[in-house]
Chains A and B, each alone.
Chain A
Amino acid sequence: MALSKCPGCAAALPEEESNFCPECGRALGNLERPRAAAQGNGWIEFVDKAWDFFASTRVAVVLIALLAVASILGSLVEQEHLYQDWRPPQLYYPDRYGEFWGNLYLRLGLTHAYTSVWFSTLVLLVVVSLIICSFHRLVPLHRMLTRPQVWKLAQFIRRQDVVHEAAGTLDEMEQKLKKRGYKVLRERECLYADRGRISRYGAYIIHIGLLIVAFSAVGKAVPAWNQTRDVWIQDGQTVKVPDTTFAITNHKFTMELYPTGMPARFATDASIVRDGQEVKRQTVEVNKPLSYEGWEVYQTSWREEPGIARLKVTNEGGFPVANLAIDLRQPEQEYRITDQVKMVISAYYHDFTVDPQSKQPANASFEIRNPVIMADFVGTEGKTVGRAALMLLNKEASYYEGPFALSVETVDTRWYTALKLHKDKTVPWMYFGLGVVMLGMMITFFLFHWQVWVREEQGVLLVGARAYKNKFGLKQDLKRLLGIVDGEVTANI
């Protein structure tokens, strides 16, 4: 379809094909592409229609709005990667939102909204619109900016934002404009000058940046480009990182608290170990990750558990006979008490409970929470001389028979640090894309494209200027340039 009026200035457009308005210079889009060949060819007609559809700013605005609405939906339902529960989604959501709604959310993909089919489709449509919209306008815009129409009628010049009549010659005018950084073109009795032309390209630079951002974000889906590992390391231990060539040592995990009990600092004194050699040592803290060969090591969590229990064995007279150190993660089979007597661990529970069904002692979890030791004291001939049972975190709850008594001196705490390793090859691209977006924004919003037309008529210069943005600044600039005092300039602002 051909436009009869310019959407920018409402001026009537000429009959012949044009890519931009001859009056105001607004890019009209390549609406009059030769489409004769398309007649009767269904495929080309379809492509043409699709192109026109995506080239429309209205469609772009609607797509942006839909993307916003889709994002809102995802923020209202707790997302699968954010909920704090051990249960899988199929069990968690019906419980969280009720049987009906939970299952509905699962089915609609609202529980993983941002990786769902409908969200991805929408992002794809936005990307297509971004590419086509930009291309559709960039080509005619570039033509208009690099090959502007210099010769203009007086009535055109009089319609501009700032209009002034000055004495002088075109040559003088050209010198003045050039001095202020304008690019000048001449044709017969007319002159065209502009500055800040690049500002008009800014929007397209933003769009290119956004495309890089979008592709980087999609690139995260490639497993080899985006890897994570989680490791739990006990103080003083070294743990090999799965599927890598190095290991990490946790020399010491430190947690500092404020007097109120709020956490103040989490830090792990960590080393990267390769082939038994330390290659890097750094304190990993929240906000201070360690970098090594593309991997970033983050402090994510910590855990403490009862570590080594120090026990005292006393005889009938209450005199200490022996001190024992029992590693609660892995107790020994037996401990030496005296030359004649040893203590044999008959049962060890790291989280003691009595199973309600079988009424038998059992472990309540996989963690060391309520360690209980049951031991026999065995003499030289394999004869049991006494027995003891001890709840290690509850000094009162001990039971013994025979000559030896067990008591807990101290239970050390064993600290674990949780480190997350992340290797994301898309990050540099993402940052580059964001940089391009920001650059484009600076160019778009903080540089201004100003155009000036001058026409010499009987020794008088008719000056008309137009600001694509910041008319106020243009007015000030021209006042300085032409040396006019306030009130003399006619501004159609």
Chain B
Amino acid sequence: MTQEMLITASAWLLGLAFVGYVASTLLYGAGVIGSRISHGARFAKTGAWATNAQLAGVVFHFLAILARWQGAGHWPTSNMYEFIGFMAFTSMLAFQVIIRMYRLNVLGALVGPVGVFLMAYSYVFPPKIQPLVPALKSYWLPLHVSLAALGEGFFAVAFGAALLYLLRVRGLELAALDRAEADAAAALAATGSEGGGVMAGASAVVSTRWERKWGTRGLEVLFYAVAVMVGFTLLALVFRYSGFQWLFGGTTYHLPPLIGPQGADIGEKGYLLGFIPMPLFGAPDWMRGKHMNTMLYSLVFGGFLYWAVRRFIAKGQPIGDVLARKVSGDPELLDEISYRAVAIGYPVFTLGGLIFAMLWAKEAWGDYWFWDPKETWALIAWLVYSAYLHVRITHGWEGRRSAWIAVLGFGVILFTLVGVNLLIVGVHSYAGGDM
């Protein structure tokens, strides 16, 4: 087999893996909703099918990685396309480990989309095989990157479980508040006087007012952030594959340039839709115009997506509350799953993401630590998960607070992998993406 054939085969296998992940996510979702509607009478086997579909996806993905490895001649974690795809693989692999321990299908409906999103996001980057620069030619490349990604995969599962926990706790809280309201109404109807029922009922809920208020808002912020990332990926894919490009001061824009490079003239590239000047303004000196342009689109389009979901699907209610009323599950079990995923991911990430990175840095650059932004952010992620492990055993801080830290931790991981490349330049910049 020639190398080209292997690379083509790898692309096809990757497509099959993607199909497997999408199918499993849909099946998990259908299973959860179906069994809820039928009160557990039907859709009993759907969860198992979903798990198997995902397993098939993981196997195809593994074969795709092996084929690309043989085709390219180096372990395929050397650029953003390969790495993000690899992380989709490790997330799904980690989920397979966890789901086989706990058999909680609703988790699949939440973690599945993370894998699908990462796969879709990887297609934003050019899939061209690039030869390795000297700094990457080391046996540490497969060791450091794969193991770090595996740890991050478990963090993705922990994120899903923690989010589900937050939704579930919010659901219980809402149910308690509803009950309290109903009691108060009944009391009011019975006695005809102002009853203290609402207060009495509400105090039965363990959460504080502060937690209720900011817990809801926090979830909405989280959904907006997710909408921004999904929006970015959709836009990027549409514009990349439709072949739009604007050459602008040495950089290629794939999105209409509303923010030009530093010092660009207003309207120098014509008008978008006939009346919006491109660019509207040039970027300030501390950020690259192209990245700022992409960010602007993502924030606006993400805002639109969030608004559309809230307006038309959630009927104007906070999305978190609508979901919270739908999910089921034992919050303690969800907390345990989240902890278990971190407990596996944390040592793996420490070894792969920090210790192996230090050993490699020593060998390649002469020192084990540089405070390079990528290193620093890996350390920050590690600190966040260290905080999670301590918060979870701190009396009074377990529960929602630790779950939020697990959610935040995954945000830091994503920033380390993507945000640092886009916003901050350092010695890892050769791993930088394009968009």
Q: A residues touching B (Cβ–Cβ < 8 Å)?
A: 7-8, 57-58, 60-61, 64-65, 67-68, 71-72, 74-76, 79, 81-82, 97, 113-114, 217, 228, 258, 260, 262-266, 285-289, 296, 298, 300, 420, 422, 424, 427, 430-431, 434, 437-438, 441-442, 444-446, 469, 472
Contact = CB atoms under 8 A, between A and B. Distances in A.
Given A217-B369, A438-B347, 17 more contacts: A57-B393, A58-B394, A60-B390, A61-B390, A61-B397, A65-B383, A75-B376, A76-B424, A265-B137, A266-B134, A287-B135, A287-B137, A296-B366, A434-B355, A438-B351, A441-B347, A441-B351
A208 B186 CA distance: 60
A260 B366 contact: no
Nearest to A267: B134
A262 B131 contact: yes
27 contacts: A57-B394, A61-B397, A64-B390, A68-B383, A71-B383, A72-B380, A75-B376, A75-B380, A75-B420, A75-B424, A82-B372, A113-B371, A217-B369, A262-B133, A263-B134, A264-B134, A287-B135, A287-B140, A288-B363, A300-B366, A427-B368, A434-B358, A437-B350, A438-B355, A441-B347, A441-B351, A444-B347
A441 B393 CA distance: 17
Interface string B332-360: 00000000000110110011000100110
Contact of B397 (A58, A266, A285): A58
B384 A68 contact: yes
A298 B344 contact: no
A75 B362 contact: no
B376 A74 contact: yes
Contacts of B393: 57
A445 B366 contact: no
Given A260-B131, A264-B131, A438 B350 contact: yes
Nearest to A419: B366
Given A57-B390, A64-B390, A422 B134 contact: no
Contacts of B312: none
Contacts of B133: 262-264
A296 B380 CA distance: 29
Contacts of B134: 263-266, 285-287
A225 B318 CA distance: 58
A67 B327 CA distance: 36
B8 interface: no
A420 B135 contact: no
A126 to B, nearest CB: 10
Contact of A82 (B140, B343, B426): B426
Nearest to A226: B367
B395 interface: yes
A71 B376 contact: yes
Contacts of A74: 371, 376
Max chain A Cβ within 10 angstroms of own Cβ: one of B359, B367, B427: B367
Max chain B Cβ within 10 angstroms of own Cβ: one of A61, A71, A79: A61
A265 B137 CA distance: 9
A265 B132 CA distance: 9
Given A61-B397, A68-B384, A434-B355, A441 B346 contact: yes
Max chain B Cβ within 10 angstroms of own Cβ: one of A60, A427, A434: A434
A360 to B, nearest CB: 36
Contacts of A289: 363, 366
A75 B387 contact: no
A7 B395 contact: yes
Given A61-B387, A287-B138, A438-B350, A422 B367 contact: yes
A260 B387 CA distance: 46
B137 A286 contact: yes
Nearest to B101: A472
A413 B312 CA distance: 70
A112 to B, nearest CB: 9
Contact of A445 (B347, B377, B380): B347
Contacts of A285: 134
Given A82-B370, A434-B358, A438-B351, A68 B137 contact: no
- Rank and list the top 7 A-B pairs by shortest CB-CB distance, nearest first: A7-B395, A441-B347, A286-B134, A68-B383, A287-B138, A298-B366, A75-B376
A67 B372 contact: no
A296 to B, nearest CB: 6
A198 to B, nearest CB: 16
B241 interface: no
A75 B397 contact: no
B376 A286 contact: no
A74 B375 CA distance: 12
B380 A71 contact: yes
A68 B380 contact: yes
B264 to A, nearest CB: 20
B97 interface: no
Contacts of B395: 7-8
B135 A61 contact: no
B364 A441 contact: no
B299 interface: no
Contacts of B245: none
B135 A71 contact: no
Contacts of A430: 358, 368
B286 interface: yes
A71 to B, nearest CB: 5
Contact of B364 (A58, A286, A442): A286
Interface in B413-435: 420, 424, 426-427
Nearest to B382: A68
B342 to A, nearest CB: 9
B309 interface: no
Nearest to B350: A441
B386 interface: yes
Contacts of B427: 82
Nearest to B363: A287
B214 interface: no
Contacts of A60: 390
A478 to B, nearest CB: 18
Contacts of B131: 258, 260, 262, 264
B393 to A, nearest CB: 7
A221 to B, nearest CB: 13
Nearest to B391: A61
A265 B136 CA distance: 11
B210 interface: no
A300 to B, nearest CB: 7
Contacts of B286: 97
A217 B368 CA distance: 10
Interface string B121-154: 0000000001111110110100000000000000
A61 B343 CA distance: 17
A220 to B, nearest CB: 9
A58 B390 CA distance: 8
Contacts of A260: 131
Given A58-B397, A97-B286, A434-B358, A75 B368 contact: no
A469 B339 CA distance: 10
A11 B110 CA distance: 37
Nearest to A60: B390
B373 interface: yes
B275 interface: no
Max chain B Cβ within 10 angstroms of own Cβ: one of A71, A265, A422, A442: A71
B11 interface: no
Contacts of A82: 370-372, 426-427
Contacts of B185: none
Nearest to A69: B380
B379 interface: yes
A196 to B, nearest CB: 14
A263 B134 CA distance: 7
Nearest to A79: B371
Given A74-B376, A97-B286, A438-B350, A422 B391 contact: no
A424 B363 CA distance: 13
B360 to A, nearest CB: 8
Nearest to A469: B343
A64 B424 contact: no
A82 B390 CA distance: 33
